[in-house]
Structure 1
Amino acid sequence: MTGIVVAGCAALAAGLLMFPAGRRRLPRPRSGRPGGRRTGVLLSVLAGLAVAGLIGGRWGVPLGLAAGLGTERFLRAREPAELRQERAEALADLPLGADLLAAALQGGTSVDRSIAAVADAMGGPLGDRLQRVARSLRLGASPAEAWAHLAGVPQSERLVAAAVRSSASGGALAGALERFAGDLRAERAVENEAAAQRASVLIVLPLGLCFLPAFVLAGLVPSMVAILRDVL
């Protein structure tokens, strides 16, 4: 009985999160927000709790975990294609943006002006986010609050952490940005090499299927014809 109550409460909470009552619809922001990700994680946890409470017993926990992971993957797959494209573009521009920002800081420009200059030069989704960072710093926001505008960019966590730690020194931030850009390019090189190796393995199967009819016609058919001729 307790498991059913827990499952019902979790399902009710998930429904209220997905379909809030009496809430006016406002235009959704184009870029991803941490709040949206938190809602997805919370929905996944609630789904896992609902399944675990409903099933109960020794199978409740593993099935609940599987349900939570499945819900998280489902919600991620529902992400708009435009948002995925923006994140991919921002990730692709991230190493270049870090290098340009490091060069501007090494030239003696202040942090906010360097960020604004790089944002104007790059444009695109990453440029828009950097422009928000520069604007927040000029308005007196703390480094953590300002750099939080990059939270939606994949693999930007190290850049944000380095920027917050080195906020008092532009030179220290420049060095951290150079190391970050180098590490990111090295990781991408490894990923590209691994993807190329996987592609070479996957190509073997269709290539073998292409040669299979020729092997059958050239190798097996003559042998079968000769055997049938001897038998008949």
Structure 2
Amino acid sequence: MTGSTPPVLIAVPIAVVVAVLAATLAVALLLPPRVRLPAPVVVAATGADPGWLRRHRALWSLLAGAAGATFVGGSAGLVAAVLVAVGVWVVVGRAEAPETRRERAEVRRDLPAVVALLGAALRSGAAPADAIVLVARALPGAAARRLSPVVARLALGVPAATVWADLATDPDLAPLGRTMARAHDTGAAVVPAVERLADDLARRARAEVEDRARAVGVKAAVPLGLCLLPAFVLIGIVPLVAGLLGSIAW
């Protein structure tokens, strides 16, 4: 009776660990993947770096599986190893590549200027497709590349309402797509709407820059404090304490 107790005590935590790992894997598989930007043809041709995390995806999965098997142990460790390895494989595969982050940052940075130039081109009498072509020539970059399919679809005769509605689903160009789609549906003037959008984006960009500038001061306080506090103790406190101890001993 005494000898049958340890297996029961050991089996309970193993079952709990396996259940937790299975639940974690189920949640990872059920979560929708992160929205990724459509990769340009040039990036695909040159073979952009997927990042160190995704580049060594198999290694991280193997290490996680080995850690799970070592932690659980026994026959249940094999199940835990498979669950952990598959979970790490899925999670790392859904991680955002550095190239995607850089492109998204470039699009958001250039979008106010792109919209302002688009409004100027529209005010001069250019059609939306021609205006986008002029903007792409004047300000080449990630935002211009992302707008190039709009020109191609409009040139092929796709309804403008469909084109702008599809652009509104873009995670970064959605404000422009919503503005153009709203103006097209309601029949309102496009130029004032685009110019208002350019002003709003410019104000938002300035606010984000100011927030980042204020955050720099807050983040710099901790390392400065860590550097200045030991110097203050060594220069101000230690000589004073040493002098007091010396006078007491004397």
Pick the TM interval, shorter chain. 0.5 to 0.7
Q: Where does residue 149 of structure 2 map in the other structure?
A: 132
Q: How many residues align?
A: 174
The answer (yes or no) to whether the contact 2:122–2:191 under 8 Å persists in 1 is yes
Q: Where does residue 39 of structure 2 map in the other structure?
A: 30
1:14 aligns with 2:41: no
Q: Match for 1:157 among 174, 178, 183?
A: 174
1:184 aligns with 2:193: no
The answer (yes or no) to whether the contact 1:116–1:134 under 8 Å persists in 2 is yes
The answer (yes or no) to whether the contact 2:123–2:191 under 8 Å persists in 1 is yes
TM-score (norm 2): 0.59
The answer (yes or no) to whether the contact 2:167–2:174 under 8 Å persists in 1 is no
Q: Match for 1:174 among 187, 191, 199?
A: 191
Per the TM alignment, residue 228 of structure 1 is displaced from its structure 2 partner at its CA by 2.2
Q: Where does residue 89 of structure 1 map in the other structure?
A: 106
Q: Where does residue 66 of structure 1 map in the other structure?
A: none
Rg comparison, structure with higher value: 2
Task: Structure 1 unaligned segments of length 5 or more: list them.
Answer: 19-27, 32-70
TM-score (norm 1): 0.63
Amino acid corresponding to residue 195 of structure 1 in structure 2 = R
Q: Which moved more, 1:96-105 or 1:140-149?
A: 140-149
Per the TM alignment, residue 116 of structure 1 is displaced from its structure 2 partner at its CA by 2.3
1:3-82 paired onto structure 2 within 5 Å? 11=26, 14=29, 30=39, 78-82=95-99
The answer (yes or no) to whether the contact 1:112–1:137 under 8 Å persists in 2 is yes
Amino acid corresponding to residue 30 of structure 1 in structure 2 = A
Distance 1:210 1:77, change over 3 A: farther
Task: Structure 2 unaligned segments of length 5 or more: list them.
Answer: 1-18, 41-87
The answer (yes or no) to whether the contact 1:112–1:134 under 8 Å persists in 2 is yes
Structure 1 distance, partners of 2:232, 2:195, is: 55
Q: Match for 1:195 among 204, 212, 223?
A: 212
Deviations 1:2-42, CA, capped at 9 Å, x for gaps: xx9xx88x939938x99xxxxxxxxx9515xxxxxxxxxxx
The answer (yes or no) to whether the contact 1:90–1:153 under 8 Å persists in 2 is no
The answer (yes or no) to whether the contact 1:133–1:146 under 8 Å persists in 2 is yes
Q: What SS does structure 2 have at the residue aligned with 1:167?
A: helix
